[in-house]
Amino acid sequence: MLKGFRDFVLRGNVVDLAVGVVIGAAFGTVVTAFVKDLLTPLIAALAGKPDFSAFSLDFNGAKFLYGDFLNALISFLLIAAAVYYFVVLPVNAMMARFHKEVPADKMKCPECLSDIPVGAHKCAFCTSAL
């Protein structure tokens, strides 16, 4: 019984998932601090009002705190923009540099996806007819 549990815990995808969750939580903290400590004060300096939580609307005795919603919405948009511009775009640019294009005189075999010459009638790797 202990051997089965050990095999489960040490399986590659479980360990990878655990590492991903821990790194994701740490990265979330960094992005949140970046938005809260740098981007929000920058917008406050430009717009003049960094906190909208005091905004509310009273209607038939009910108090609608739409300022809190505005704070959450602006925070979400800033975090999404920070992740996109500081993580997604640089990683996509880096991956595009490493992506190897198939030369013009080569094509992919439809069966095994190997690079073969354009004029070939059979794949040299899987021998399928082209």
Question: pLDDT tens, 3-15?
Answer: 887 777 777 677 7
Neighbour-count burial of 116, counting CB atoms closer than 10 A to its CB (0-12 exposed, 13-18 middle, 19+ buried): buried
- Tell whether 58 and 35 lie within a shared domain: yes
- Tell whether 87 and 113 lie within a shared domain: no
pTM of the model: 0.52
Give the single-character DSSP code of 100: P
- Tell whether 32 and 64 lie within a shared domain: yes
- Tell whether 36 and 91 lie within a shared domain: yes
- Tell whether 60 and 114 lie within a shared domain: no
- Tell whether 68 and 115 lie within a shared domain: no
Give Cβ neighbours of residue 64 (< 8 Å, ≥ 6 apart). Answer: 56, 57, 58
- Tell whether 86 and 33 lie within a shared domain: yes
- Tell whether 75 and 123 lie within a shared domain: no
- Tell whether 92 and 109 lie within a shared domain: no
Report phi then psi at 127, rounded to 5. Answer: 60, 25
Question: pLDDT tens, 99-128?
Answer: 776 567 888 888 888 888 888 888 888 888
CATH number of the CATH domain containing 23: 1.10.1200.120
What's the structural domain count of the chain?
Answer: 2
The whole-chain average pLDDT of the chain stands at 82
Residues of the domain holding 119: 104-130
- Tell whether 112 and 84 lie within a shared domain: no
